[in-house]
Chains A and B, each alone.
Chain A
Amino acid sequence: MKDTVLRTPLKAINWSRLQDDKDLEVWNRLTVNFWLPEKVPLSNDVPSWATLRPEERELTIRVFTGLTLLDTVQNTIGAPAMMPDAQTPHEEAVLSNISFMEAVHARSYSSIFSTLCLTKEVDEAFRWSEENPHLQAKARLILEEYKAGSDPLKRKIASVFLESFLFYSGFYLPMYWSSRAKLTNTADLIRLIIRDEAVHGYYIGYKYQRALEKLPEARQQELKDFAFALMFDLYEIEQKYTAELYDGIGLTEDVKAFLHYNANKALQNLGYEALFPPQACEVNPAILAALSPDSENHDFFSGSGSSYVIGKAVATEDEDWDF
């Protein structure tokens, strides 16, 4: 009489009964932002790719295989590992979206490769990614926290650091090329990835903060200490990884400022204060402009731009505004 055995009922997800409004808000944001690499005309970058020197091409392919590895980890291990920790069924659904988009990101780098590069060059770079000790070390450090049985909150810390910090030694390069009017379509695609990662880091960091506030103070302090210690360890590796990649074109120091700036933002996603002082985070303005193009500075206090500029028309939800 198996059917009569009392069991916990299996529950279907009901999006009309939310326990946390942030789940729907982020679900909507992610689904509206959905994209595929086919949307970006990468082949327009073929002439530009030909203007790069061989060592610049090799660097670019290596950077992209490094990014592919992190996306693969997050797609197949990171996001799924957080699902059993979810506090709401809607959080699990959001994580399944995050997981899938990481697969899209990983797939996108191969679209870039197949459009711009020779198979031999790409194969070599994938081999490099398997043999590079720094790249392997940072991925392994994250995977350590993703293991079954590890602390769910430490898993979220590791995940936010992957999404909001570890990608940026790589994202720097397409932003740099774009600031020099090279590989601009590739940069458009990378900006779509950067936008997604920002939502992922924000959301996982938000869930971390919700769980943290329920814990006793001693435990909160333990997790904060863990977060800063992990950041230090990852930063150590990132420094070496960055130097190995960028010393050849003399950009290491410029990339490091970008790393510091993003490390601080990753910590802010977890609700923590900055680690690196402002003078260590002075990112090259050309890189910042490449990150958010067309978002020219209208700041009144900063004194840049014309003095009393009223914002230009922006797509908005007019029906929600009565006036």
Chain B
Amino acid sequence: MSIKNIRNFCIIAHIDHGKSTLADRLLEYTGTLQKRQMQDQVLDSMDLERERGITIKAHAVRMAYLAPDGQKYVFNLVDTPGHVDFSYEVSRSLAAAEGALLLVDAAQGVEAQTISNLYQAVDNNLVIIPVINKIDLPSAQAEVVKHQLMELIGCSESDILLASAKSGVGIPEIIQEIIDRIPPPSGDSQAPLQALIFDSQFDSYRGVVALVRVFSGEISEKDKILFMATDRSFEVEELGNLVLKRVRTGKLDTGQVGYLICGAKNVRDIKVGDTVTLAKNPALQPLPGYRQVKPMVYAGIYPVDSNDFEDLRTSLEKLVLNDSALHYEPETSSALGFGFRCGFLGMLHMEIVQERLEREFDQLIIVTTPNVVYKTILTSGEIQYVDNPTQMPAPGVLDKIEEPFIDAHVISPPEFIGNIMKLSNEKRGILKNTSYIDPTRADLHYHLPLAEVVFDYFDRLKSVSRGYASLDYEFLGYREGSLVKLDIFINGEVLDALSVIVHKEKAYEQGRSICQKLRKLIPRQMFEVVIQAGIGSKIIARESIKPLRKNVLAKCYGGDITRKRKLLEKQKEGKRRMKQFGRVEIPQEAFLSVLSTDD
């Protein structure tokens, strides 16, 4: 296969704009996959991905295509995750391609996520092919979206393709444009090896499987290789292409996309964005763009039953094998016992980890209220980063606290600007600029404290804009904030897992709101339960739960003991899911939902 006939591309799209369906159609049209073999949306292989309609982990597929002119082509579709939590992974996938299909829903138009990915693609010098999808929807506004696209990427109307991935309309044209407009890879096959790792997966038999794009040189099995960022060496065991499953080829040349197995057992040895080179004849420098991914959000994960701690550890060990972005280390809480402090890329990532632990590993867990990493400057001048509110230095030695800010773009139809500004203001946002992508799309540029965004900004943004606004952000830096630690007391004892860092001006309101929520969430017990919120030793809010008066079914005759027993067993199961704090039984939800403002 000549390098001239290779096309490496990705699809940039907002959630639900039809990326997976388009990918399926391309697989079908190129004959990579027969229609009857297809399970809908083959690229999203985890159940969770399919349910949430998003691609969490990037994958790659190689398609062989015989063009009508008799030429054989190889298409490598590099798939990209579609959520703001995973923007670094997106950037590495983009780096592996020469072109991108910019897929926009004809009814929804351009969204913030799409724009930020598009800019990344442009920064990576990718050729952009705009495609308007779902043109057969009754609500399609192809003309409007065309103009948005023309403004956005400065293309002409004739550059824009119209398609309906669902019904197969426009697929042959898309394929032809991929051939005509996306350049083949360039690179010197004689130069030292430089291959980009744009994703990695874990195979329980083979260890880490790296997905790579070769930029220069070539690589063969048995080669001794070096990962330039982690400085680890391995011997290549297997090389090949991904054609939905792995197809061994023994070799990868310049321009090709494929997988690499080298006996690495730990995903941390093989980092997305790292460059593979040959140990004997290493490249002078790695490919640009590598970054150490740092968690943005932290939360405690604890077993409901303290005896399950080791089980949870084992599950986390297995889970990180295919989620290298997850960080964890053991911690203890006076309320929850032994558990783990876990770092996540964002809230979605956190939810995914929680669900995977519960579903795939059958763990009964409590996830505490998430928080960002605070930078504290002590009176001694020492700097400490704090990822757990309970470890906040004492006020006496604390000079100041800084919190992470993000640079955010909110894109929305103009009629919701008022709502969005109100919400962002409430979230301590600083409006930097307002611009218009076109008359129907405003771009609000904000600086926002990440802590405020972490909890419910995105959900509320969706609700105040009836689902139209979209958000994209990146880390900006640390800024000093007027912050205090808010503690929650249950019957006089600090429940450390509920401590949160809040803005001073909001402390009273949040203390009250947390106490009220807990009053609703904690069931009546055999005794009175007093819930208090305090800053230091000063109590700022109080609620109480009256003791349980009555819980007995009057009737237990007629012989139907089975039903009675099942009811009691169900109740016991509910009790088992609660955490014992002193004598008080606290349901799991209480630990997470305290800061949400829905209701």
A and B, one complex?
Answer: no
Q: Which residues of B contact A (CB under 8 A)?
A: none
